Structure 1
Amino acid sequence: MNKIIMGAILILIMSCNQNKTKDGINDNLKKSSNSANIKDNLKHSRAVEAALWGIPIVASDAIRQGYLKLGANYNDIVYFSKPADWKFQTTTPNASTHYIYSAYSTKKDGPIVLEVPAAVQAGIYGQLCDMWDVPLAIVGGGGDDKGKGGKYLILPPDYNGNIPTGYFVVRQNTYGGFWLLRTIANSNSQEDQDAAISLLKKIRLYPLSKAANPPQQRFIDVYGKLWDGYPKMDETFYAILAKMVNEETIIPRDMAMMNILRSVGIEKGKEFKPDQETTAIFKSAIKEANDYINILLEETLVPYFWESTHWSIPTSTNFKTEFSFQDANMLDYDARALANFVAWAPPKKADKSAPTIYILSYSDKTGSPLVGGKTYRLHVPPNVPAKQYWSITVYDYTTACFIKQAPIISLDSYNTKTKKNQDGSVDIYFSPTAPKEQENNWVTTGKEGRWFVFFRLYGPDKTFFDKSWKMNDIELVN
């Protein structure tokens, strides 16, 4: 009997131990599964943050790579002999001025000299920026040289060498950089357009080490050529970000971000080799970052510049930091991502002394999105407060670039063919094809998809700033 009882007890003990072992295994499996999910979720969220943080430097590299693919080398100057057409695929360029661009590397060449001529017979204006797209100097009218010309000396990070006199000194936090200038013709006449081209061909860019005998400047006309400078918002974004982290210096403000980048496989001095699971996470993370930027965009359009309209000044709050997005308390890389997603080479200021002011609209009079396949009209009131001229340009909502294959991407007040009303006002039409008898007052939109417009004022006047002049909303015709 005792043997039977002892045997039963032994069986019970073994059974309990077996159940405990099974439960322990199950618990461990659950913990392992939960840990994997937590790690994947964390990697996803950190990949989103990495994208938001890295958009400016990835976008700057995309433009630079487009420049190099056009056959240029560092310090070569590319320019548009005519205002750009749709093939200039960068974010929100204008289509009225002659753009001039160059990229340089202080890591390769040391300090760089940008030599700018005096603005004679044409205007000249633009920005000199680091690879984070922070405007470091305004060049030309409204800038340090005040349109009188001069030499800008661009210094690499932590430069401790001699600084010669006679230069406007520009210190930057990155080894790479670029400048984007525009020559602004006095009119649309061939004579004035030729004067604008002649002016831009006096610009020079060379290493300081060769200042005593600068090399012959190489110019490349890129009008009509495809310049693909749009940053791809897909999983390849992270490979470009990894390349730029390795190429550039780490700024002290970004040290905490280096830990986030390391957790997604991006680390300075190490090869970037994401596995299939990480690549899948990147695909969803970059989409989420893109969607978040679009949400930010819609939110920042309000309040509108004029009450009861749908016109906004883009990123107006960012002028407080001169587009560094950094103050004593924080680096606002959400706002920076938004600004660099819709534009590049921003001006340092947007006040009464600014050479240009941009306003934009994503909506019609009712607040509905502007969409392809429909016809819209904008009634531009007379006496537009622009001392030089005004222009209006259409962009693709998804990319903020010109709409591909669009024959007419912009209209401006230089265009003598544009019909004016008796009071000096102008009616502009937006549609996939030109309305009857409105071919000269028409800008192309797509057959589908959303779009938006920039209205630019060159030489803005006081009636803009005091709001006594007011733009009308875009209206749906059919």
Structure 2
Amino acid sequence: MNDRLSLNHPAAKVREAFIYSFPVHDLAQSRWEYSQKTAHPQYTPPNVLRHNRALLDHRARTVTTPNNDTLYSSAWLDLADGAMLLSLPDMHDRYFSFAFLDIFTNNVACIGRRTTGTAAQTWLLAGPGWHGTVPHGAEVIRLSCNDVWMLGRLLVDGEEDLGNVHAIQDAITLRPLDSTGVPRLLQSVPQESSPEHYLDLVNEVLGRNPLPPHESELFESFEAVGIRPGQKGAWHMLDPDVRDAWSSTHQANLASLTVPPPGTRHTAGGSWTGGPDHLGRFGADYACRAFVSMVGLGALEREEAIYLTTQTDEAGMPLHGSHAYRLTLPGNVPVDAFWSLSMYEITPDGRRFFTENTLGRYALGDRTPGLSRQADGSLEVLLQHARPQGGEANWLPAPAGPFSLTVRFYQPRKDLLDRSFLMPDAVRLR
């Protein structure tokens, strides 16, 4: 145990406990917002599947760096009192995935085109304490937590494909294995800025789920600073100097999560950066886990999708709509599903959103109709605010001010996974 260290240096131990527990709080706060706050526009009770029905555009300002490629399906599962049955129709080789995240935001299972194929399937979603009879034809997914976030993605080939995807969504069912279980609600109301409420929510969620056995000593060391699974009101049992440490460092600890810790960002060619190999399955890299929870909650494992981003050109200068750029992509991008390049305006507070434009185009990729390619199959994308004189086919409209680019590779091949494929930089034309 590290109680003596905790008491002698409470601020250091508080920060360690905060970094460890932040993803637990962040995910639980989202669970409460979406599944218990009835005034929320996307409110959906626990164990009920919700489908987003529209592709995101410049009006989407809730989540930074949105995508324009997939529709999301989501459910906040509580598996403590029973298993759930998830049935999927035949996807006919369409890209899809359903990721299952534990309370720490680790991807603990993933079904989809890459892992389980696209034929019709039924899955029994079982929590750690479930024992029962598996229905005929169902495959079991044994999950390590009772509280699980199920996040699905379905590929959409533009607005004209929405009807086809809606039909698939309507054919997906999620139901309890039996009707006796009642999902539990969180009793602690999230309030991220209050250390007292922060601890209440973290401890409630930790108490609702089995803890990693190999981290028992870590939890013992956190007890002195208020991480006490299942205990309500831990704040009032802390020593005054520990409460002072929480109060004096909490806002700074929250702010620090916007800065990537060492080893989190990896160069992927020139100015492009991507996540580490263990993205989505963080292991003991608690700093990376907390950072990703803050800036990209719900990140997939790299085997499923790789995202690269940049906001500078080949000379290292910030991308800006007052200039024009050319980005040349090779003819054979190493993916087994699809790739897309998205354009984002950068707001004064650093968030990134699609920008309104005359084409209504927020991304382009291997599914974009009418692209003009070079003789060798390469693709020259024009990145600029004004309409190009040579035509709109390869134009990805930029905002008038600063912008960033994100390229997404779904079902990446070996060259992407081993980082031998390098993204070219944007070249400034004027």
CA contact (8 A) 1:113 1:208 kept: yes
Counterpart pick for 1:379 among 324, 327, 331: 327
**Shift, 1:457, TM fit:** 2.4
Q: C-alpha distance in 2, partners of 1:472/1:132?
A: 35
CA contact (8 A) 2:33 2:43 kept: no
Matched, 1:315 2:276: yes
Q: C-alpha distance in 2, partners of 1:81/1:131?
A: 27
SS of the residue corresponding to residue 128 of structure 1 reads: strand
Matched, 1:244 2:196: no
Q: C-alpha distance in 2, partners of 1:270/1:189?
A: 48
Matched, 1:106 2:79: yes
Counterpart pick for 2:214 among 253, 262, 279: 253
Matched, 1:196 2:165: yes
**Number of equivalences:** 394
The 5-angstrom pairing of residues 148-187 of structure 1 reads 148-185=119-156, 187=157
Q: C-alpha distance in 1, partners of 2:94/2:246?
A: 51
**Shift, 1:252, TM fit:** 1.9
CA RMSD of aligned residues (A): 4.0
Matched residue, 1:301: 265
**Shift, 1:76, TM fit:** 2.3
The 5-angstrom pairing of residues 65-104 of structure 1 reads 65-68=32-35, 69=40, 70-85=42-57, 87=60, 89-90=62-63, 92-104=65-77
Matched residue, 1:435: 386
CA contact (8 A) 2:268 2:421 kept: no
Q: In structure 2, what residue type is equivalent to 1:193?
A: L
Q: C-alpha distance in 1, partners of 2:62/2:154?
A: 20
SS of the residue corresponding to residue 294 of structure 1 reads: coil
Q: In structure 2, what residue type is equivalent to 1:380?
A: T
Q: C-alpha distance in 2, partners of 1:48/1:137?
A: 30
CA contact (8 A) 1:92 1:342 kept: no
Q: In structure 2, what residue type is equivalent to 1:456?
A: R
Q: In structure 2, what residue type is equivalent to 1:201?
A: D
Q: C-alpha distance in 2, partners of 1:242/1:374?
A: 50
**Shift, 1:272, TM fit:** 4.2
- Structure 2 unaligned segments of length 5 or more: list them: 181-189
The 5-angstrom pairing of residues 47-446 of structure 1 reads 47-68=14-35, 69=40, 70-85=42-57, 87=60, 89-90=62-63, 92-107=65-80, 109-120=81-92, 122-144=94-116, 146-185=117-156, 187-188=157-158, 190=160, 192-210=161-179, 235=195, 237-267=198-228, 268-273=230-235, 278=243, 281-282=246-247, 284-288=249-253, 290-291=255-256, 294-296=259-261, 299-302=263-266, 304-306=267-269, 309-316=270-277, 318=278, 323-326=280-283, 331-348=284-301, 350=303, 354=304, 356-361=305-310, 363-367=312-316, 370=318, 375=323, 377-385=325-333, 386=335, 388-393=337-342, 394=344, 402-403=352-353, 406-407=355-356, 410-413=362-365, 414-416=367-369, 420=372, 425-429=379-383, 434-437=385-388, 441-444=396-399
- Cα gap change, 1:237 to 1:383, in 2 (>3 Å): farther
Matched residue, 1:222: none
**Shift, 1:207, TM fit:** 1.1
CA contact (8 A) 1:74 1:104 kept: yes
- Structure 1 unaligned segments of length 5 or more: list them: 1-37, 212-229
Deviates more, 1:263-272 or 1:146-155: 263-272
SS of the residue corresponding to residue 209 of structure 1 reads: coil
- Cα gap change, 1:269 to 1:379, in 2 (>3 Å): same
Q: C-alpha distance in 1, partners of 2:248/2:372?
A: 49
Identity of aligned residues (%): 17
CA contact (8 A) 2:123 2:140 kept: yes
Q: In structure 1, what residue type is equivalent to 2:139?
A: F
Question: Which deviations, in whole Å up to 9, do the C-alpha atoms of 1:423-449 show, x marking residues without a partner?
Answer: 55233437xxx335498522448x67x
**Shift, 1:110, TM fit:** 1.3
CA contact (8 A) 2:93 2:118 kept: no
Matched residue, 1:29: none
**Shift, 1:466, TM fit:** 8.4
- Cα gap change, 1:240 to 1:164, in 2 (>3 Å): same
- Cα gap change, 1:466 to 1:53, in 2 (>3 Å): closer
SS of the residue corresponding to residue 178 of structure 2 reads: helix
Q: In structure 1, what residue type is equivalent to 2:362?
A: S
CA contact (8 A) 1:234 1:286 kept: no
CA contact (8 A) 1:378 1:472 kept: no
CA contact (8 A) 1:360 1:454 kept: yes
Bigger proportion of residues as helix: 1
Question: Which deviations, in whole Å up to 9, do the C-alpha atoms of 1:241-267 show, x marking residues without a partner?
Answer: 244234433332332333344322342
CA contact (8 A) 2:6 2:224 kept: no
Matched residue, 1:4: none
TM-score, length of structure 2 as denominator length = 0.75
Deviates more, 1:49-58 or 1:38-47: 38-47
Q: C-alpha distance in 1, partners of 2:8/2:250?
A: 10
- Cα gap change, 1:342 to 1:397, in 2 (>3 Å): farther
CA contact (8 A) 1:48 1:289 kept: no
CA contact (8 A) 1:157 1:172 kept: yes
**Shift, 1:141, TM fit:** 0.4
**Shift, 1:189, TM fit:** 5.6
CA contact (8 A) 1:362 1:453 kept: yes
Q: C-alpha distance in 1, partners of 2:91/2:427?
A: 39
Q: C-alpha distance in 2, partners of 1:156/1:102?
A: 15
Q: C-alpha distance in 1, partners of 2:136/2:341?
A: 42
